[in-house]
Chain A
Amino acid sequence: MAVTAVSGSVARPIPRLRRMEDERWLAFALLVPTAVLLGLFIAYPFVEGVLLSLNSTRVGIKGEFVGLKNFDKVWNDSIFRTSVWNTFWYTGVTTVFKLALGLWLAILLNRHFRGKALVRAFILLPFIIPTVLSTFAWKWMFDPTFSVINWTLFQLGFITQRINWLGDPDLAMTSIIIVNVWRGVPFFAISLLAGLQTISPELQEAAAIDGARPWQRFWHVTWPLLLPVTMVVVLFSVIQTFADFQLVYVMTGGGPANATHLFATYAYQLGIGTGLLSEGAAVSLAMFPFLFLIVVVQLLYIRRVETR
């Protein structure tokens, strides 16, 4: 009885629900929420940004279409050029250090020792603390007057004069790089550790019996097998670092004398700080080709790994 009752109710036409039985309609319905979210929060701002960069809009003034004039202006702006150089330098140097230190930590953590779980959890701390908070702490440590780093170096007799960490253009960049490495190493260490744990210890033993020394075992066995994970981690990190904002904004605000601006902070200063909305949009759009290239490389690489 129950069965016939159910089939009877299905047989009655309920047009909207019936349509869902068609897979094309169902697929469409399931995709709508994602499409709306992506459209509203990514596609729309992106298109607005592009339009803005082709206009002469300022805060309070509705501008008109000016073509690529903003890009031309930005291209000839020396601060922009410094920002481009800074962004590449910042991304390159931090990535090298984060990878090297992260790999080293991962290999250490992959051994068996007492309190392993606790240390692994501890390692993640810099990554868990909100960046703005930890960066403020670092800012104080680099403070010209109250710097605990200076105090320590002074007490140990390494320096006789204060080091003006954030006041000197080169030192300011170095300071920012140090903080970024400190913050980023846990992500590398934990991801690479996860990668290391997928490599069977039998392979190390087989290589040891085959006559490979520890360094050769790393180079011929561990490293090639870890490479896929490493590539993904590096690319993620590069994208994040390339578009970094908080760290520089809190530490130096782009100073001293605009020496530490990155794409993002300069775009913010120009667009929001100065009110030149369309020029700010042009600066942030200038990031796009580089990030696009990185994403393409990443996708191609992942596809290659998946299909082989």
Chain B
Amino acid sequence: MALVSIRSVNKVYDGNVHAVKDVSLEVRDKEFMVFVGPSGCGKTTTLRMVAGLESITSGDILIGDTVVNNLPPMDRDIAMVFQNYALYPHMSVFHNMAFGLKMRKFEKPEIDKRVRDAAAILGIETLLDRKPRQLSGGQRQRVALGRAIVRHPQVFLFDEPLSNLDAKLRVQMRVELKKLHERLGTTAIYVTHDQVEAMTLGDRVVVMKDGIVQQVGEPLELYNSPANKFVAGFIGSPAMNFADVTLAESDGKLWAEAQGLRISIPGEMARRANGRNGAHATLGIRPEDIHLAGPADPADLCFDAEVEVIEQLGSEIVLDTRVGKSAFVASVDPNLRMKVHDRLKLAMNPARLHLFDAGSEAAI
């Protein structure tokens, strides 16, 4: 039993910087929960409050059934992996991993067994006598993980643990972290600014911005039904296209209109947007949901675009196009041949259209 409940938690620094605003969420037992958002969104502060490294201005944090608001970090039964690893530079790998057990007065044979088990899991048995400075970034990362897992804590806390690794190693460690979590099944909270890490690692993902939780959900839920324009733009790469449109009713249909663009809004969404005739809104569509128009595509989902940049990625072509005053990015079939300044007819997948309120930016 190790669920983490965060209930109406606020953090105010020096009486004026409101870093975390009324955050409430539940991390379920054995769940891998990812906090994601741009820097300064309050995700790390929230994590540090769970760890006990920051005080809570108001609200409650529970680990299991215990309110831990005023418990020091050592009594919360958590382990944390820091962004810069925070390995003790004067201790060998063995002693780095053993330190927490030693402080908790474990017997020598037990310490030895646990450290060697963790080292075996992480493939660092041969490094136990080395000092941190003799290790590569990836090895240090493993030691930091090892230090966390020897303790068998109730909750793992990760503070951007992969951000100091190079791109290739990051992908590799991401996979290993996922495997490790499946093997240990410990509840984990993982903070990152990288939406790819969030999507690939998280059982569920919390998107934060300006100290406020924007949406909590499974990765695909965030991807398919973002709650607002921020989540829509933050999750997914290349990012979702947005166009400022005016909604207009005619011929019994609802149209999203902008210069060079006139798209009919499909039935269900049109019903939700009922009564917005003449209102401004933001139309959203992901690059992969735009394709080169064919004879089967109805005219009310097509638009003309001028190619500005062609990015050939091998598996796909990413086109930067201009449509009136809006820019649209489309990812299309890699076998197509085209040139810059070509005029193309593109079509949107109606099931994948998004519409956001122009003021509140909430999904319609």
A203-B103 contact, Cβ under 8 Å, with A208-B53, A208-B73, A210-B74: no
A221 x B88 contact (CB < 8 A): yes
A205-B74 contact, Cβ under 8 Å, with A216-B103, A220-B99: no
**Residues of A close to B79: CB separation below 8 A:** 209
Complex A-B, nearest 6 residue pairs according to Cβ-Cβ distance, in ascending order: A210-B100, A211-B103, A202-B86, A206-B86, A211-B74, A209-B73
B74 x A225 contact (CB < 8 A): no
B74 x A202 contact (CB < 8 A): no
**Residues of B close to A224: CB separation below 8 A:** 90
Partner of A205, one of B86, B89, B100: B86
Closest chain A residue to B51, Cβ basis: A209
| Min CB–CB distance A176 → chain B (angstroms) | 37
| Min CB–CB distance A61 → chain B (angstroms) | 60
Chain B stretch 61-118: residues in CB contact (< 8 A) with chain A: 72-74, 78-80, 82-84, 86-90, 99-100, 103-104
Complex Cα gap A203–B147 (Å): 13
Residues of chain B at interface, number, CB under 8 A = 23
Could you list which residues of chain B lie within 8 angstroms of chain A, going by C-beta atoms? Answer: 51-53, 72-74, 78-80, 82-84, 86-90, 99-100, 103-104, 147, 151
**Residues of A close to B74: CB separation below 8 A:** 208-213
Could you list which residues of chain A lie within 8 angstroms of chain B, going by C-beta atoms? Answer: 200, 202-203, 205-213, 216, 220-221, 224-225
Closest chain B residue to A308, Cβ basis: B131
A225-B90 contact, Cβ under 8 Å, with A206-B80, A208-B72, A209-B51: yes
**Residues of B close to A207: CB separation below 8 A:** 88, 99, 103
**Residues of B close to A212: CB separation below 8 A:** 74, 99, 103
**Residues of A close to B82: CB separation below 8 A:** 202, 205-206
| Min CB–CB distance A114 → chain B (angstroms) | 11
B73 x A200 contact (CB < 8 A): no
Known: A202-B83, A209-B51. 5 other contacts (CB 8 A): A200-B84, A207-B103, A212-B99, A225-B89, A225-B90
Chain B CB within 10 Å — which of A206, A211, A213, A225 has the most?
A: A206
Q: List 11 A-B contacts (CB under 8 A).
A: A203-B86, A205-B73, A207-B103, A208-B53, A209-B53, A211-B74, A211-B103, A212-B99, A212-B103, A220-B99, A225-B89
Closest chain A residue to B79, Cβ basis: A209
